[in-house]
Amino acid sequence: MAMTSSSILLLLLSGLSSKSHAFTVSATGSSAACSQSTLFAAKDTPIDLPSFSDAEEYLAYMEGVSSLPLGFATGSGKGTFISKEAPSLGKLPIRATVIQLTEGATESWAACFTSNMFPGAPVKVGRKRLAEGQKIAALVINNKVSNVCSGGDGEADAELVCDAVASSLNLESGKVVLPSSTGVIGWRLPAQELAAEVVPDAIQNMQTKSVLNAAKAIMTTDRFPKVRSKTLSNGARIVGIAKGAGMIEPNMATMLSYILTDASVEKKDLQRILSTTVDESFNCLSIDGDESTSDTIVALSSNQIPDNVDLEEFEAAFQEVCRGLARDMVRNGEGTGHVMKVQIDNFAGTKRSARFLGRHIVNSPLFKCAVAGNDPNTGRLAAAIGSYVGKYMPGADVSTMSLTLGGRVIFENGKFALEGDAVEKELSQHMKDAEFGDSTDYPPHQRFVEIGVDFGDAGGDMSVTVFGSDLTKEYVEINADYRS
């Protein structure tokens, strides 16, 4: 796609942004109009998103921060298929999304994939592309069927869809297309339907304005689309999208996430930054403790902003985009009504072990249920911590450990500090204030159930923050009826 220097300048200027702020929109009066106009004028996302009064307001904000970096186009298409494994379900809907590098294939891409021992066929294909040093010109992502351990040849099915994308976009071959799939495990990918019907529809809908259509199209049981973006001092943009609401406890990847940038970054730098960032963001969350077979995160650079990039600035912005997406994924979790934020300090061990302790806390079914009911049953919190330390750190000194909930000390010197109805009410109110409903289709606020675990003087110097969700009836209902 040819562009004049003046058109590039205009695009760069339109992407520049003043500092973003967290705004709370008033319900009435001129202050509401002022606040809303400022809210919708935002071009980048702060780490803590603003508050929103409804889904319409959230989507309007998302549209404002979703401008694509230079050199990218996205399009989504729809179709139907009949599952060979469950034909009685009849025709089922399926979507595919194509993300194209409009100025040609790039060597500047990086990826991390699931460590699950039963990876999906697209993960296997992606690993081969990465190992071979293959350039990438497009991504293709389908929902509904994950193409994992299915009958037939899953890799051949994935390659057939890649070939269809290459043919429609006049690319040299399907080898420059990277596939991803999400959905039901064990079903065969309807590759013929995707290749003949859905991919051509997606190509027809290609546009270069916004990534929001792609963020919406890759959703499965997600409650709302997730977009994070930052603009660098030289005008380059980093824009990320993600999907994932259940079967989420990533390990060396996330569910599905795609980070697009027009900053000129070498492949080795992009892979290093991605790998480091994944550890600090997506590996620090858990919704239900189950690691997917399809986890994939891909970073792509179109290299359309030729100015030298400040790698430190780029890495900091890249990390903020990923941390924001990780938070959004937990808040968007299936049936999630509260998000827990666990801060672990003075831990005597590795960061990996500290993360596992945090996950053990947020994955405790008893504690998750207590949080869902706004019940400050702090004994369940202490039991979860004691269980992990007893199993995996039997020699640890917990004599100086203290626990906090909502900033209030609830445990220290080996004893609880919970006497009186006032404390019970305060802790329960903290949980209620963080609640946002288990079926909302937008994130009304960014509050957390704040949990602190400090090992004190007898501990070490490691700190980590882990995010997790509660466990509600809505989560059970969604996963009891997932395939239909």
- Which are the catalytic amino acids? 254
Burial of 266 (0-12, 13-18, 19+ CB in 10 A): middle
Q: How far apart are CA 219 and CA 235, in angstroms?
A: 29
The first and second tokens of residue 141, run together, are 């992502």
Which DSSP state fits 282?
A: G
The first and second tokens of residue 274, run together, are 């991605």
The residue written with tokens 């021992």 in the block is: 117
Q: How far apart are CA 476 and CA 262, in angstroms?
A: 41
Q: How far apart are CA 44 and CA 17, in angstroms?
A: 7
Q: Are 202 and 96 in contact (CB under 8 A)?
A: yes
Cα separation of the two ends of the chain = 41
Q: Are 431 and 412 in contact (CB under 8 A)?
A: no
Three-point CA angle 371, 372, 374, nearest 5°: 60
Give one word for 44, left, alpha or beta, with left for phi > 0 and alpha for psi -120 to 50. beta
Three-point CA angle 345, 347, 351, nearest 5°: 95
Q: Which residues make beta-bridge pairs with 467?
A: 285, 341
The residue written with tokens 């994932």 in the block is: 244
The first and second tokens of residue 108, run together, are 């500047």
Pick the closest to residue 281 from 233, 247, 312, 248 (CA basis): 248
